[in-house]
Amino acid sequence: MKKYISLFLLATAAIFTSCVDDEGSYDLSPINEMEVTISNEDGYTAYIMGDPVLISADVKGTMAEENDPDRYAYHWYVKIITDMVSQAFRVVDLSSEREFNYTAGDDLIPGSYNLYLEVEDKETGLKVLQQTTLSIASQATTGFLVLGEASDGSTKMDMIATMAEDTVLLENVFTDSNIKSPESLFFTGPLDSYQHLWLTTADQSYSLTSGSYFNLLEDNSIENYMLTSFDVIRPMRVLEMYPHYDPSSRRPARADPNRGYITEDAVFQVSTMASGGILAYGNPINRYDVLSTELFKPYPLAFLTSGYINSFSFYVILYDMDNNVFVMPNSNSSTPTICNKLQGGNLFDWDQKTYPDNRHLVFGQNGIASFSYALLTDDQNKWYIYKFVVNSAKKQELVKEVDLSKAKDFDKATFYAFSDLETEIVYAVGSQLWAYDYERQIAKMLKDYGKPIIYLIRDIESTTNNSNFCIATSSGDGTSTLSWFTLGENPDDIIFEEDEDMVWEINSTIKAVQWKNAGDLEDESGYY
């Protein structure tokens, strides 16, 4: 169910009354004693990129004729400790109005604060202090980042926030009219100051902050980390990073010190980053001789099994698109320098040149925890599915030829995605979504959306559900519809189940969807 998130925290109240001595006598003279109350005794939470917090302050004086709101001055503020030893602090002024109307922004980072209201009787100088709590939180902690292209070609980014039981769409969490033609979005880096959100466009890649705010980093170019002397394509566009986040592993895979990048013509990889997570990469590894500068064109995916990623082993399989062969870096325990071609295999040959009809890779995908998948075709329009495990044994699990008489228009599809639950591959043709079971040799049209399908991925980061997918369609007017579906288990049928609570209208043409996990945050400062 879609709802806006309610606000709650504890509040405290204090009532101050006063009287003063009449210096001309020993009698006590009454003054305008003030009673200050606020509208919500449960405290307040302000969400970054959320609605304003409204607090109504009611001030009453004991002298009825003096009970005039204009008589009082108001000061809303918080104190921030700057030195724990001396308890020194600085004051952040928030408002001087009776009605506190506050929108969380850059003045306060996420956290819990004591919020003070000081009310002064401007005629007598008497002051009364009221205290409650104000919590600053971010709805952008957990959820799906949606990268889109606006009608003018500029970058637009929204977020489907899932930090609570319900979800909410946060629009325009990042806007930069100067960044045009967005293409992809993904995280990389360890849990430190070098964990970034990378946005790739048709021209280059940019690094963004991704805490409570999404801003362009001053040092935002990947080239600053690539120390190669090779003549590679510049500006460097990051097409892939690895490993990705894996919810089934014991820790976020992208926090691992092992790290790799794939650009248009190069693959950079380190086994362990320097202390502090400093990014520093040497020469590309997509070559076969350490003395050579000749690079093969890499497919923009690293096949790997996240369960095998640790500080001591980092097994990766890449694909050489020039020579149509699967390759492996020459080291899994230290920083590799070159790649070696894989040969042979019990089910299929890693070297596709051994097949007479120019068999070559069309699509690749990593699944949850164990398997990787490859879809290949040849000059005779035959299609093949490979299933394997990336480890020291490079275990081949399956090879199947696609029955094109059953899988209608399979060879005309614009998108493919494998299920981990069943032996099924989902594919999109125009407005139609199909699924093909390569073991049972059956196919089924799941749905005709009536609008062109512009995006399809197997969602392997937000859930351990082995058959969760994300799909987007274009309305033709610069807007898109984003939704999720699953494939259910049934030995006799292919079961298509839509998530009715996860259908979103997006005011852009969707290019990419990236899961943002709360565990990505080192803190909630918004800068890392």
In the numeric block, the tokens 């917090």 are attached to 53
Nearest to 479 by CA among 212, 171, 211, 198: 171
Q: What is the pTM of this model?
A: 0.81
Instruction: Read off the pLDDT of residues 411-438 as tens digits, 9 standing for 90 and up.
Output: 999 999 999 877 999 999 999 999 999 9
Instruction: Read off the pLDDT of residues 257-308 as tens digits, 9 standing for 90 and up.
Output: 678 899 999 999 987 665 555 667 899 999 999 999 999 999 999 998 764 4
Q: Is the pLDDT of residue 235 over 90?
A: yes
What is the pLDDT averaged over residues 248-255?
A: 54
What is the pLDDT averaged over residues 486-491?
A: 88
DSSP secondary structure code for residue 97 in this structure: S
Q: What is the mean pLDDT of the chain?
A: 84
- What is the C-alpha radius of gyration for the chain, rounded to an integer number of angstroms? 29
Confidence of residue 67 (pLDDT cuts 50, 70, 90): low
Nearest to 295 by CA among 322, 315, 334, 327: 322
Give buried/exposed letters for 198-235 (b at 16+ CB in 10 A, else e). bbbbeebbbbbbbbbbbbeeeebebeebbeeeeebeee
Q: How far apart are CA 528 and CA 521, in angstroms?
A: 8
Q: Is the pLDDT of residue 20 over 60?
A: no
Nearest to 262 by CA among 311, 312, 296: 296
In this predicted structure, what is the pLDDT of residue 34?
85
What is the pLDDT averaged over residues 459-477?
A: 90
Instruction: Read off the pLDDT of residues 88-114 as tens digits, 9 standing for 90 and up.
Output: 889 999 999 999 999 887 788 777 898
Q: How many helices (H) and strands (E) does the chain have?
A: 0, 35
Strand partners, 329: 339
Q: Is the pLDDT of residue 188 over 90?
A: no
Q: Is the dihedral of CA 449, 482, 509, 466 positive or negative?
A: negative
Q: Is the pLDDT of residue 175 over 90?
A: no
What is the pLDDT averaged over residues 508-517?
A: 93
The CATH 2.60.40.1080 domain(s) of the chain lie at 20-138
CB atoms under 10 Å from CB of 390, counted, come to 24
Confidence of residue 29 (pLDDT cuts 50, 70, 90): low
Angle value at C-alpha 90, between 87 and 96, nearest 5 degrees: 135
Q: Does domain 142-520 have CATH number 2.130.10.10?
A: yes
Q: Is the pLDDT of residue 505 over 80?
A: yes
The CATH 2.130.10.10 domain(s) of the chain lie at 142-520
User: CATH topology for 20-138?
Assistant: Immunoglobulin-like (2.60.40)
Strand partners, 96: none
